[in-house]
Structure formats: C-alpha cells, structure tokens
Amino acid sequence: MNTPPANPRPAVPPLDHYENFPVASVLCPPRLRVAIAAIYHFARTADDLADEGDASAGQRLDALARYRADLLAIASEQAHSGQWPQVFDPLREMVHRFELPVSLLTDLLNAFAQDVRYTLEQRRYRDDAELLDYCTRSANPVGRLLLHLYGVRDELSLTQSDQICSALQLINFWQDIATDVARGRWYPTQQAMAAHGVQDADLQPGSRSDNARQLIAAYAASARTLLQAGAPLARRIPGRSGWELRLVVQGGLRILDKIEALDFATWRTRPKLTSADVPLMLWRALWMR
C-alpha cells in the first residue's frame, strides 16, 4: 500500500474530498488553525487509506488498524510507529494541549473501516435510521471536535452540531451518488428504494427514471430540513467561528439548490460549488436567522 504523501495537501472547501470539514479558512480563529489543521489531516489521511489507490480491502483494514494504534499511542504519550509522522507529530501536541476527546477520532476511523467492510460485502443500509447511525461516526465527530475547540459544550449546541454534520454528510451522498454507486457503495437505503420503486439500474448514468428522481428529491428535502434545524447554532457561536459555520451551512443549502436545479438526477450529473456561488452564500450567511 502506498503511504500518504510527506506534505499533506491543502485544505479544500466544504463538501469536497473529506466532506464536511472546512479548514484553515480566513474565518478560522488564528489560535485554533494549527489544531483544526491537525485534526483535518488526521481525517483526510484516514479517508485516503480507506478509499484511494488500488489496495485490497484487507490491506485497507490493516492500514486503518495500524493508524488507530498510532492514535492510541500518542493519546497515551507513547511513540507512534513513524509511518505517518506528518499526521501524528502535530496531532500529538494538539491532543494534549486541547484535551481532544480521542473517542471522537476513533469514531471517524470506525466509519472509514465500516465503509471498507460494507463495500467488500456489498452490504446495503436497511433503512434511514441505520444510515443516520453511520453519520454519528462518519460526520458528527467533526462538529463535536470543533465545538470542543471553541469551548462550546451545552447539549443544545451538540445536538444542532450533529444535525448540521449529518445533513452535510447526507447531502454529500446525494451529490456523489454516481461515484459511490460505481464503486459499489450504496447509501440509498433498501427501505427507501423499495418505497419509491427504485431498482439498481435506475441509478446508473444513462437512467432517466422518474422513481429515482423522486427518491433523491425526498432525500434532499429531508437533508434540508435537518440542516435548517441545526442552523441556529451558527448564530450562537461568537466571532469568526460563527461566520465560518454560517458559510458551511449555506454551502450545504446551495448544493441542495443545485441538486434541485438538476431535477434531482444527480446520478447523471454531479452538482458542485464554484467561485460564482460565493457571493450568494455570503449574502445568505449575512441574513441568516
């Protein structure tokens, strides 16, 4: 298996590569940039171990297990293996300086390993409750880690953070459905597909299935409701962090707009954010209620 590059790649906008993790933007509080970048590179490298290259499922799971061992080693102030120094050297300092909850970092690794296993076994999610349970590991830890850094610990904020992160994860699924289906990863649940009369062939690139459009439309509406439920958190987070969260929320809502503009046929065309969307997102962020 190829090891991660020595110089981690730069941060990317929300809903790209390691989705739901906006990092080191101009709005990020300067005192937290190093910590956020360390968490980001931890998550992104683990994502690459699970997804990138041509390694077998067994090799991916083995790499993730070794990666987890390094995380637990630095958390207990022991030496890591040295395989990923660009990740664990900075992360070690941040874990101890900010007392980061290591369980949230291991939750992310559990989600990556689950993706590998489900793909290997061609396993499907039975219903939306099971899919949302996956989001508690794949997405929600990100928001909780950021709230921890911001010093926000109340239950309402944690709940709204989970709503935002789960919604963004789900939006990413419906945005990337063509790529995921091609790789054998099925996030539309068996229950939802059956309810809308959707067959596997309906989500292939050449399909013009109305049933599939209705499925994605229902999923998009549900994600919008969830994202809007969590959005008030952005108004309670003070300063630059709150403004960054406003833009994260608006990025998700803008992707939903683009999904709708495609008549929900995202298995044929992938919607994405561009620089042309930024003015509208900024305007909407300014007037968020």
Give DSSP secondary structure letters for 210-250.
HHHHHHHHHHHHHHHHHHHHHTTHHHHS-HHHHHHHHHHHH
pLDDT at 23 over 60: no
**Closest among 207, 228, 213, 202 to 260, alpha carbons compared:** 213
Name which of 17-21, 74-78, 122-126, 258-262 the model is least confident about.
17-21
Q: What pTM was computed for the model?
A: 0.90
Q: What is the pLDDT of residues 237-249, one digit of tens each?
A: 988 889 989 999 9
Q: What is the pLDDT of residues 74-115, one digit of tens each?
A: 999 999 999 999 999 999 999 999 999 999 999 999 999 999
Per-residue pLDDT, 214: 98
Range 163-194 burial, b when 16+ CB lie within 10 A, else e: bbbbbbbbbbbbbbbbebbeeebbbbbebbbe
Stretch 244-261: mean pLDDT:
95
Out of 3.50.50.60, 3.40.220.10, 2.120.10.70, 1.10.600.10, select the CATH number for domain 124-289: 1.10.600.10
pLDDT at 26 over 60: no
pLDDT at 16 over 90: no
Concatenated DSSP letters of 150-174: HT---HHHHHHHHHHHHHHHHHHHH
Burial (0-12, 13-18, 19+ Cβ within 10 Å), 151:
exposed
pLDDT band per the 50, 70, 90 thresholds, residue 206: very high
Per the model's pLDDT, the better-predicted residue between 85 and 6 turns out to be 85
pLDDT at 195 over 60: yes
pLDDT at 156 over 60: yes
Per-residue pLDDT, 27: 63
Stretch 33-59: mean pLDDT:
93
